Amino acid sequence: MRAVLRLSIEAAAIALLSSCGLARDYATVIRGNRLHARGRYQEAAAAYLAARKGAFGSILVYDLANVYARLGEFAAAAELYAEARKPGDRILSRDAFYNEGLALYEKGRYEEAYRAFRAALALDPRDAAARRNLEIAYRDWKKSALSPPESASGAARSQGGGDEELRLLRRLETGRLRPGGADSASPRPDDY
């Protein structure tokens, strides 16, 4: 009888201790989400890196990719977006393709941005934002292929086509899946 009671207590203690680590990781991810929402990207990256990857899997990788993209570390962001897409979550994959397309567009890599938006649309054909950004990336890809390099500079944007590009870049600023609510003091389910 005592052995059964002792085993039960030990099992409960192990479960409690392992859940404390999960709770700590959850709090770390929420902290990272809030820092990201406030534009404090380096601190957000540190918070995401402090959380155990296994606890949140591809969502944590996706959040870290978004931070790297906003910091201008596009090569690291691209690797992480690809890793976030591996598990097969269609929504996360769509959003990873979409945000990667935004980052590529910002770098002026219109053909690759077009392909990323096309992949996002393949996962969700009803995504109006991805469809519109696909059209913008395609237009700019074809325009840059036909123009000499010097005319693809900022001077071309000042001639009236800048509104669409600004709308696309504003979308990058807000992100597809905005991390955590910066306006809420208590954690919400959509913080993570």
Judged against a pLDDT cut of 60, whether residue 47 lies above it is answered with: yes
Does any domain span residue 46? no
Q: How far is CA 138 from CA 37, 48, 61, 109, 117, in A?
A: 30, 34, 28, 11, 10
Domain count within the chain: 1
Does any domain span residue 108? yes
Q: Are 32 and 44 in contact (CB under 8 A)?
A: yes
Judged against a pLDDT cut of 70, whether residue 179 lies above it is answered with: no
Determine the Cα–Cα distance for residues 8 and 170; give it in Å rounded to an integer. Answer: 55
Give the pair of three-digit tokens for residue 48: 């995401």
Does any domain span residue 122? yes
Does any domain span residue 15? no
Judged against a pLDDT cut of 50, whether residue 17 lies above it is answered with: no
Judged against a pLDDT cut of 50, whether residue 18 lies above it is answered with: no
What would you report as the CA-atom Rg of the chain, rounded to the nearest whole angstrom?
21
88 — phi, psi (to 5°)?
A: 100, 10
Which residue is it, tokens 């097969």?
88
Does any domain span residue 51? no
Ranking 59-68, 112-121, 123-132, 154-163 by mean pLDDT, the lowest is: 154-163
Question: How does residue 146 score in pLDDT terms, banded at 50, 70 and 90?
Answer: confident
User: pTM of this prediction?
Assistant: 0.67
Helix axes 53-71, 2-37, angle to 10 degrees: 10
CB atoms within 10 A of CB 39: 11
Ranking 54-58, 94-98, 122-126 by mean pLDDT, the lowest is: 54-58
Does any domain span residue 174? yes
Judged against a pLDDT cut of 50, whether residue 155 lies above it is answered with: no
pLDDT at 117: 95
Q: For the residues 162-189, what does the mean pLDDT come to?
A: 54
Q: Measured between alpha carbons, how far apart are the two ends of the chain, in Å? A: 43
Range of the domain at 131: 88-178
pLDDT at 1: 57
Determine the Cα–Cα distance for residues 138 and 43; give it in Å rounded to an integer. Answer: 35
Ranking 11-20, 30-39, 71-80, 103-112 by mean pLDDT, the lowest is: 11-20
Say which CATH number the domain at 157 has.
1.25.40
Question: How does residue 157 score in pLDDT terms, banded at 50, 70 and 90?
Answer: very low
Judged against a pLDDT cut of 90, whether residue 100 lies above it is answered with: yes
Stated length of the chain? 192
